[in-house]
């Protein structure tokens, strides 16, 4: 089972904090590939890894895909 984890980052002059909740579906090499994103205690959307690319289902998260990806990859290193 994957546990949620906190995130904190800066993007475009703004500070973000929240948490990432990994989803059990679609795990590869014992790592999740889909995540729910919560920023400032509000659900922001879903972010998924497809091959080497990352995408989101939410316009709210669209500009944050790269910094969110870095947060996720750093957590699983």
Residue 13, in any domain of the structure? yes
Residue 12, in any domain of the structure? yes
CA dist 4 and 62 (Å) reads 21
Both structure tokens of 27: 């795990």
Q: How many domains in the chain? A: 1
Domain that holds residue 59: 5-70
Backbone angles phi and psi of 61, in degrees to 5? -95, -10
> In this predicted structure, what is the pLDDT of residue 60?
83
Give per-residue pLDDT as tens, 41-65: 999 999 999 888 999 999 988 999 9
Note the pTM of the prediction, 2 decimals: 0.89
Residue 46, in any domain of the structure? yes
Residue 32, in any domain of the structure? yes
Enumerate long-range contacts of 5-8, CB under 8 Å, 24 or more apart: 5/75, 7/68, 7/71
- Residues forming beta bridges with residue 42, ordered by sequence position: 39
> In this predicted structure, what is the pLDDT of residue 16?
95
Residue 76, in any domain of the structure? no
Region 9-35: mean pLDDT is: 91
Residue 48, in any domain of the structure? yes
């Amino acid at each position: 089972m994957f546990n949620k984890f906190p995130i904190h980052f800066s993007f475009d002059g703004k500070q973000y904090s929240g948490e990432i909740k990994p989803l059990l579906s679609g795990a590869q090499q014992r790592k999740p590939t889909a995540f729910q994103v919560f920023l400032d205690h509000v659900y922001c959307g879903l972010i998924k890894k497809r091959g080497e690319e990352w995408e989101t289902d939410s316009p709210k998260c669209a500009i944050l895909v790269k910094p969110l990806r870095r947060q996720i990859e750093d957590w699983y290193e």
